[in-house]
Amino acid sequence: MKKIALILLLLASLLQTGCTPKKGFFAKDVLYESAIVWTKKGDIFNSLELKSSIVATYLNPLKKEFREKGGEWFLISLFVDKSSGIKESLNSKFITFQLNGKAPKFKKKLKYNDELIALAPFRNRWSSYYLVHFDSDEHPDLKLFYKFSNYGEVTLKFVRCQ
Protein backbone atom coordinates (compact mmCIF):
# COMPACT_ATOMS: atom_id res chain seq x y z
CA MET A 1 0.00 0.00 0.00
CA LYS A 2 2.88 2.37 0.80
CA LYS A 3 4.39 1.70 -2.63
CA ILE A 4 1.13 2.59 -4.37
CA ALA A 5 0.78 5.78 -2.32
CA LEU A 6 4.38 6.73 -3.09
CA ILE A 7 3.89 6.12 -6.82
CA LEU A 8 0.67 8.17 -6.84
CA LEU A 9 2.39 10.98 -4.95
CA LEU A 10 5.30 10.97 -7.38
CA LEU A 11 2.96 10.89 -10.39
CA ALA A 12 0.89 13.78 -8.98
CA SER A 13 4.02 15.88 -8.38
CA LEU A 14 5.26 15.24 -11.94
CA LEU A 15 1.90 16.25 -13.38
CA GLN A 16 1.88 19.46 -11.33
CA THR A 17 5.37 20.52 -12.38
CA GLY A 18 4.56 19.94 -16.05
CA CYS A 19 2.02 22.76 -15.96
CA THR A 20 4.18 25.37 -14.26
CA PRO A 21 5.85 28.23 -16.17
CA LYS A 22 9.25 27.34 -17.58
CA LYS A 23 12.10 28.97 -15.69
CA GLY A 24 15.78 28.35 -15.39
CA PHE A 25 17.06 25.53 -17.59
CA PHE A 26 13.84 25.25 -19.63
CA ALA A 27 13.19 28.99 -20.02
CA LYS A 28 12.46 30.28 -23.49
CA ASP A 29 15.43 32.18 -24.97
CA VAL A 30 13.95 34.56 -27.54
CA LEU A 31 17.32 35.99 -28.64
CA TYR A 32 18.70 32.49 -29.27
CA GLU A 33 15.63 31.53 -31.31
CA SER A 34 15.92 34.73 -33.38
CA ALA A 35 19.62 34.10 -33.93
CA ILE A 36 18.84 30.68 -35.38
CA VAL A 37 16.41 32.27 -37.83
CA TRP A 38 19.02 34.84 -38.95
CA THR A 39 21.91 32.36 -39.28
CA LYS A 40 23.00 30.58 -42.46
CA LYS A 41 25.72 27.98 -43.02
CA GLY A 42 27.74 27.03 -46.08
CA ASP A 43 30.44 24.43 -46.67
CA ILE A 44 33.10 24.06 -49.33
CA PHE A 45 34.17 20.52 -50.17
CA ASN A 46 36.94 19.16 -52.35
CA SER A 47 37.09 15.43 -53.08
CA LEU A 48 34.51 14.78 -50.35
CA GLU A 49 36.71 16.57 -47.77
CA LEU A 50 35.54 19.66 -45.96
CA LYS A 51 37.97 22.45 -46.84
CA SER A 52 36.12 25.40 -45.35
CA SER A 53 32.93 26.19 -43.51
CA ILE A 54 31.20 29.50 -42.90
CA VAL A 55 28.40 30.28 -40.47
CA ALA A 56 27.05 33.83 -40.77
CA THR A 57 24.60 35.47 -38.36
CA TYR A 58 22.91 38.66 -39.56
CA LEU A 59 23.12 40.98 -36.55
CA ASN A 60 20.85 43.86 -37.63
CA PRO A 61 17.57 42.10 -36.67
CA LEU A 62 19.02 40.83 -33.40
CA LYS A 63 20.46 43.98 -31.83
CA LYS A 64 19.14 47.52 -32.07
CA GLU A 65 22.67 48.93 -31.72
CA PHE A 66 23.65 47.46 -35.11
CA ARG A 67 20.56 48.86 -36.84
CA GLU A 68 21.36 52.29 -35.40
CA LYS A 69 24.99 52.17 -36.60
CA GLY A 70 23.83 51.77 -40.19
CA GLY A 71 24.95 49.32 -42.81
CA GLU A 72 24.75 45.57 -42.61
CA TRP A 73 26.49 43.73 -39.75
CA PHE A 74 27.39 40.04 -39.63
CA LEU A 75 28.98 37.74 -37.11
CA ILE A 76 30.98 35.26 -39.17
CA SER A 77 32.39 31.97 -37.99
CA LEU A 78 35.04 30.68 -40.36
CA PHE A 79 36.68 27.28 -40.39
CA VAL A 80 39.57 26.50 -42.76
CA ASP A 81 41.03 22.99 -42.96
CA LYS A 82 44.70 23.09 -42.00
CA SER A 83 45.59 20.58 -44.73
CA SER A 84 44.69 23.23 -47.34
CA GLY A 85 47.88 25.08 -46.37
CA ILE A 86 46.03 28.40 -46.15
CA LYS A 87 45.99 30.40 -42.95
CA GLU A 88 42.53 31.26 -41.71
CA SER A 89 42.19 35.04 -41.91
CA LEU A 90 39.83 37.51 -43.53
CA ASN A 91 42.89 39.44 -44.64
CA SER A 92 44.21 36.46 -46.62
CA LYS A 93 44.35 36.85 -50.40
CA PHE A 94 42.85 33.35 -50.61
CA ILE A 95 39.64 34.30 -48.78
CA THR A 96 37.12 36.70 -50.31
CA PHE A 97 33.91 38.13 -48.83
CA GLN A 98 31.35 40.30 -50.59
CA LEU A 99 27.82 41.44 -49.85
CA ASN A 100 25.84 42.06 -53.04
CA GLY A 101 29.14 42.45 -54.90
CA LYS A 102 30.74 44.91 -52.45
CA ALA A 103 33.76 44.28 -50.23
CA PRO A 104 33.46 44.71 -46.44
CA LYS A 105 34.00 48.18 -45.04
CA PHE A 106 35.12 46.90 -41.63
CA LYS A 107 36.23 43.52 -40.28
CA LYS A 108 37.49 42.62 -36.84
CA LYS A 109 38.66 39.29 -35.49
CA LEU A 110 36.96 38.44 -32.19
CA LYS A 111 38.33 36.47 -29.27
CA TYR A 112 36.39 33.35 -28.35
CA ASN A 113 35.26 34.88 -25.05
CA ASP A 114 33.86 38.03 -26.73
CA GLU A 115 30.26 38.76 -25.75
CA LEU A 116 29.18 38.98 -29.42
CA ILE A 117 30.05 35.33 -29.94
CA ALA A 118 27.33 34.50 -27.41
CA LEU A 119 24.85 35.60 -30.12
CA ALA A 120 26.02 32.81 -32.41
CA PRO A 121 23.65 29.86 -32.06
CA PHE A 122 26.39 27.46 -33.21
CA ARG A 123 29.79 27.85 -31.60
CA ASN A 124 32.93 25.79 -31.76
CA ARG A 125 36.52 26.30 -30.73
CA TRP A 126 38.13 25.33 -34.04
CA SER A 127 36.57 28.26 -35.93
CA SER A 128 37.64 31.90 -35.97
CA TYR A 129 35.02 34.59 -35.38
CA TYR A 130 34.78 37.96 -37.10
CA LEU A 131 32.56 41.02 -36.87
CA VAL A 132 32.05 42.24 -40.43
CA HIS A 133 30.35 45.44 -41.62
CA PHE A 134 29.16 46.23 -45.14
CA ASP A 135 27.67 49.43 -46.53
CA SER A 136 23.94 49.31 -47.22
CA ASP A 137 22.51 49.31 -50.71
CA GLU A 138 19.01 49.25 -52.16
CA HIS A 139 18.67 45.50 -52.70
CA PRO A 140 15.93 43.87 -50.57
CA ASP A 141 17.92 40.62 -50.55
CA LEU A 142 21.40 40.29 -49.10
CA LYS A 143 23.75 37.83 -50.79
CA LEU A 144 26.83 37.13 -48.72
CA PHE A 145 29.42 35.67 -51.08
CA TYR A 146 32.36 33.68 -49.71
CA LYS A 147 35.15 32.34 -51.89
CA PHE A 148 37.93 30.12 -50.62
CA SER A 149 40.95 30.01 -52.92
CA ASN A 150 40.71 27.39 -55.64
CA TYR A 151 38.37 25.17 -53.64
CA GLY A 152 35.06 26.89 -54.29
CA GLU A 153 32.53 29.44 -53.22
CA VAL A 154 29.30 29.73 -51.27
CA THR A 155 26.50 32.31 -51.36
CA LEU A 156 24.35 32.77 -48.26
CA LYS A 157 21.06 34.60 -48.80
CA PHE A 158 19.38 36.81 -46.21
CA VAL A 159 16.37 39.12 -46.30
CA ARG A 160 17.21 42.67 -45.33
CA CYS A 161 16.04 43.80 -41.91
CA GLN A 162 14.13 47.09 -42.10
> pLDDT grade, residue 150 (50/70/90)?
confident
Judged on CB neighbours under 10 Å (0-12, 13-18, 19+), 35 is buried
Judged on CB neighbours under 10 Å (0-12, 13-18, 19+), 71 is middle
1 sits in which H/E element? none
User: Residue 7 in 3-state DSSP?
Assistant: helix
pTM of the model: 0.79
Task: Kindly report the backbone phi and psi dihedral angles of residue 51, in degrees, each rounded to the nearest multiple of 5, phi listed first.
Answer: -100, -35
Q: What residues contact residue 62 under an 8 Å CB cut-off, 6+ apart?
A: 31, 34, 35, 38, 119
Per-residue pLDDT reduced to its tens digit, 11-58: 666 666 665 555 655 566 787 888 888 999 999 998 888 988 999 999
Per-residue pLDDT reduced to its tens digit, 120-130: 888 888 888 99
Distance CA 100, CA 144 (A): 7
Residue 74 has pLDDT above 90, yes or no: yes
Domains of the chain plus CATH, in order, are 25-159 (2.60.40)
Distance CA 35, CA 23 (A): 20
Per-residue pLDDT reduced to its tens digit, 78-109: 988 877 767 666 667 788 889 999 999 999 99
